[in-house]
Amino acid sequence: MAEQELHKFHRRRMRRRFNRYGADVFDTHQLMEMLLFHSIKRSDTNELAHIVLNAKPDGGLKASSEQDFLDIDGVGENTANLLSISSAMTVRLLHDTICTEPLDSDFSAMLCAWLCFADKSDKSVVALLLDEKKRLLEKLWLSRGMSNRPESYLEILLHAIKASSGDKYPIKNVIIAHNHLDRSKASSAEDVYMTMLLSKHLSKAGACLLASYIVTDTDCVNCVGVI
């Protein structure tokens, strides 16, 4: 009983400190510890916070399903569900914050592209469809979990551009991004071919290919030598 009271006191103290000073006064493991309060009611969460962060140094931001968390020693179903939803919500809020403004700088465009892959673990290609003022109209997945021919991506994009021609805000700009699961930032011959193909034919359709990005776990870079 005394141990439970001690846990309650510790939790109240951490919450008061968070409410008063914010997150900056806490270490990362302490923030994870407080998050775990919501799924583990009666025991110390400090040790488990360290275990989760050692297993997933990013806290689960990168491609973490509920099963990924369940594979961590000491994590139960409720905790896995909490962490999975928290990581997905973090990505969504970041994406919505960045991508509701015009993507009119390299930084904002690259960050928006990177966030598209933040919770993805399969090989994918995405197109960010923008209007004349570079506002995001749609995030269109061209490929998920498999590699398709660049000509098939072009066909999908041309159809989307044609379909938007009568809209108030038609598609005028496109950003392409794909991920390298091996973390390589180097452009392959296929990457260059895809970019050149899309750039040439989108221009004929009245749209501009603004950028072609390669996304890794930690970075987003331009496809070399094109655009």
* Domains, the chain: 2-95 (no CATH), 103-222 (3.40.140.10)
Tokens 């809209």, located at residue: 167
pLDDT given for residue 65 in this prediction: 76
Q: pLDDT tens across 88-141, in order?
A: 888 888 888 888 899 999 999 999 999 999 877 789 999 999 999 999 999 999
CA distance 5 to 163: 63
Structure-block tokens of residue 19? 């409410």
pLDDT at residue 227 greater than cutoff 70: no
pLDDT at residue 215 greater than cutoff 70: yes
Buried b (16+ CB within 10 A) or exposed e, 28-53: ebbbbbbbbeebbeeeebeebbebbb
Buried b (16+ CB within 10 A) or exposed e, 192-217: eebbbbbbebbeeeebbbbbbbbbbe
pLDDT given for residue 114 in this prediction: 93
Query: Can you tell me the mean pLDDT for 187-193?
Result: 93
Confidence band, pLDDT 50/70/90 cuts, at residue 225: low
pLDDT given for residue 61 in this prediction: 61
pLDDT given for residue 130 in this prediction: 97
Q: What is the mean pLDDT of the chain?
A: 89
Please indicate whether residue 45 or residue 3 has the higher confidence score (pLDDT). Answer: 45
Query: Can you tell me the mean pLDDT for 7-14?
Result: 87
Residues 6+ apart with CB under 8 A from 165: none
Share of the chain above pLDDT 90, in %: 63
Confidence band, pLDDT 50/70/90 cuts, at residue 226: low
| H or E stretch at 144 | strand 136-144
Q: HSE of 225 in the Cβ direction (CA atoms, 13 Å)?
A: 10
C-alpha angle 176-193-145 in degrees, rounded to nearest 5? 55
Query: Can you tell me the mean pLDDT for 178-189?
Result: 92
* Phi/psi at 23 (5° precision): -75, -20
pLDDT given for residue 62 in this prediction: 63
Query: Can you tell me the mean pLDDT for 151-167?
Result: 95
pLDDT given for residue 125 in this prediction: 96
Q: In this structure, how many other beta carbons lie within 10 angstroms of the beta carbon of residue 129?
A: 20
Structure-block tokens of residue 130? 């923008």
**DSSP character for 141?**
E
CA distance 224 to 227: 9
